[in-house]
Amino acid sequence: MAAEPATPSDLADAVRSLANSYEEAGIRTLNYEPNSALDALRHDIDTDIGKIDGFCK
């Protein structure tokens, strides 16, 4: 099973990236970083969501 997982690697990578971005956004928000400092991270989140959506169609 480990050699051939059921989840395509592209989808798994996008989900991992999204999870990491959400974690980073949460940490930065708890540190009261300004919204402008989170803009690039929000863009990354939107990109990952788009990729995941595309893989799941």
The two tokens of residue 34 are 């300004």
Question: For 18, what's the count of Cα atoms within 13 Å in the CB-facing half-sphere?
Answer: 15
pTM over 0.85: no
pLDDT tens, 16-33? 999 999 999 999 999 999
Question: In 10 A of CB 11, how many CB atoms?
Answer: 14
Confidence of residue 4 (pLDDT cuts 50, 70, 90): low
Average pLDDT, rounded, for the chain? 91
What would the mean pLDDT of 50-56 be, rounded to a whole number? 94
1 pLDDT band, cuts 50/70/90, is very low
Distance from C-alpha of 17 to C-alpha of 36, rounded to nearest angstrom? 21
Domain edges within the chain: 9-55
